[in-house]
Amino acid sequence: MSNSYQDVLSRKQAIMRQALKLNYDQYEDSGIGFDYEKMMNDSGLTLEDVSKIQKENNVGSTPLIELKRLSSYARKFAKPGYGARIFVKDEAANLSGSFKARRAAISIDQAKKLGFKGVIAATSGNYGAAVAALAARAGLKCIIVQECFDSKGIGQPEIIEKARACEAYGAEVIQLTVGPELFYQFLILLEETGYFNASLYSPYGIMGIETLGYEIANEVLEKEGKYPEMVICTNAGGGNLTGTARGLIKASATQTKVVAASVDLTGLHMASDLDFNKKSFTTGHTGFGIPFSTFPDRSDVPRSAARPMRYMDSYVLVNQGTVFYITQALALLEGMERGPAGNVSLAAAFSLAQEMKDTDIIVVQETEYTGAGKHMNAQISFASDRGIDLILGDPLYEKPGKNLIFPKSGSFVKHKELDLNTLRKSYLKHFDQQLLFDKDYEYLAVELKTTVSKIKELMEDNNEIKK
């Protein structure tokens, strides 16, 4: 078979199906929808099964820690009676140092059950290290494909650090320059090796996160006699939020508000060679968070199991400088050096807490390990070397790719809220209203967590814009 770019891409559906041994066609409806819950349930794994697999691999049951000093600091800028209690689920305690180990544990277990000799994952982030670590425990070969360099051969320090971690666990790491060759190379490797696609977006990847939401709900209930008012999830590809929300629901915490948080990188294009090294965060930012929310099936499986718009109640943004500020505050006030990417939701929590009562509870649902290229000092130095201005001031004026603005004090730590209806309209642009039937509208209402009448209204708005 030809390995030309177009020919390989034309075979992508067949390659992806073979690499998961999952027939996605059985879940397709006659219209635009598919049976999402059937796809999730057909694995045959219960939540208890998932938890057992994780525990056998030193994953899960991580500490839930109240950040008392950080909460007190937030209250300094809130009106009397306000300033929610901030808790964090310390996922850095997992094997490989992040919540991604929960996802990898289930994917690797499935690969082993199906008889695959090895696994492949396309990721520049913590997931690569998690897959490599869990594959090592299972005795499987592992290949990690990274988008690492710009055309001048300059690599992001955070991604290079993660490559080091992957190699430490015995994985082969293939590093590429930014651009479309990542997916192309990934498909060729799946086809040539016959390895399992340890995708972030398979049902197994999402099931692994459900235990995180389930643990949060039950641990807060046990400690405080109620479920948390809010859980904040750093949002990139959407699987983190999706799995956490599903776990909360399974624990009956149906009234807990689920908030997505991303770093605001508006104006930077993630596939641009020019912009690639102008960002200080390789995940948890709008360059992934918004596209994957408005078009989830852009992933490396035929139908993504990460459907964040089904579950999010709001979507907030924080700037890069603010996340670095909160990263340092966490270390200085709580003695916890984590992140910085895992602290995106913590920065949002610090701001949102000031709008909530002091009896309310916010849970930041994950942390990640830090060190070497993942450390905030490495990222800030890298930005400075790229000509990015470092400024102490009001973070709301930060311009991604031009400067990093660190808050002058905690009073300047603020979030911006995205309009969910704007995101919904962007999602709906993929469909022609004239070709939709009643069941399509019903599917879209579930997919976008709204009503059929609202879907029709938003589609009419899109039609008016086209005119």
CA 42 – CA 168 distance, rounded (Å):
34
| Sequence-ordered strand ranges (E) for 353-399 | 361-364, 389-393
Asked if residue 437 and residue 290 are part of one domain, the reply reads: no
R_g of the chain computed on alpha carbons = 21
Q: Which of 310, 342, 317 is nearest to 242 (CA)?
A: 310
Asked if residue 432 and residue 313 are part of one domain, the reply reads: no
Angle of the 68-75 helix axis to the 320-334 helix axis, nearest 10: 120
Return the residue matching tokens 């009503």: 451
Q: Which of 370, 327, 378, 376 is nearest to 129 (CA)?
A: 370
The CB density around residue 351, as the number of other CB atoms within 10 Å, is 21
Asked if residue 336 and residue 394 are part of one domain, the reply reads: yes
pLDDT at position 42? 92
Return the residue matching tokens 């973070």: 395
Sign, CA torsion 332/338/339/345: negative
pLDDT at position 340? 87
pLDDT tens for the chain, residues 1 to 467: 799 999 999 999 899 999 999 999 999 999 999 999 999 999 889 999 999 999 999 999 999 999 999 999 999 999 999 999 999 999 999 999 999 999 999 999 999 999 999 999 998 789 999 999 999 999 999 999 999 999 999 999 999 999 999 999 999 999 999 988 889 999 999 999 999 999 999 999 999 999 999 999 999 999 999 999 999 999 999 999 999 999 999 999 999 999 999 999 999 998 899 999 999 999 999 999 999 999 999 989 999 999 999 999 999 999 999 999 999 999 999 999 998 888 999 999 999 999 999 999 999 999 999 989 999 999 999 999 999 999 999 999 999 999 999 999 999 999 999 999 999 999 999 999 999 999 999 999 999 999 999 999 999 999 887 76
- Bridge partner residues of 144 (DSSP): 121, 173
Sequence-separated (6 or more) residues with CB below 8 Å from residue 276? 150, 156, 178, 270
- CATH for 153: 3.40.50.1100
Sequence-separated (6 or more) residues with CB below 8 Å from residue 193? 118, 120, 143
pLDDT at position 275? 94
Range of the domain at 30: 5-45+98-200
Asked if residue 352 and residue 250 are part of one domain, the reply reads: yes
pLDDT at position 255? 98
Asked if residue 424 and residue 410 are part of one domain, the reply reads: no
Asked if residue 190 and residue 103 are part of one domain, the reply reads: yes
465 burial via Cβ count (<10 Å: 0-12, 13-18, 19+): exposed
Asked if residue 312 and residue 285 are part of one domain, the reply reads: yes
The conformation of residue 67, written as its DSSP 8-state character, comes to -
Domain boundary pick from 166, 200, 234: 200
Position 256: which residue type?
Answer: T
Asked if residue 462 and residue 413 are part of one domain, the reply reads: no
Total structural domains within the chain: 3
Position 451: which residue type?
Answer: T
- Tokens describing residue 311: 């579950």
Asked if residue 348 and residue 304 are part of one domain, the reply reads: yes
pLDDT at position 466? 72
pLDDT at position 106? 98
CA 447 – CA 308 distance, rounded (Å):
9
- Tokens describing residue 27: 């879940």
Asked if residue 283 and residue 253 are part of one domain, the reply reads: yes
Cis peptide before 340 (omega within 30 of 0): yes
CA 224 to chain centre: 28
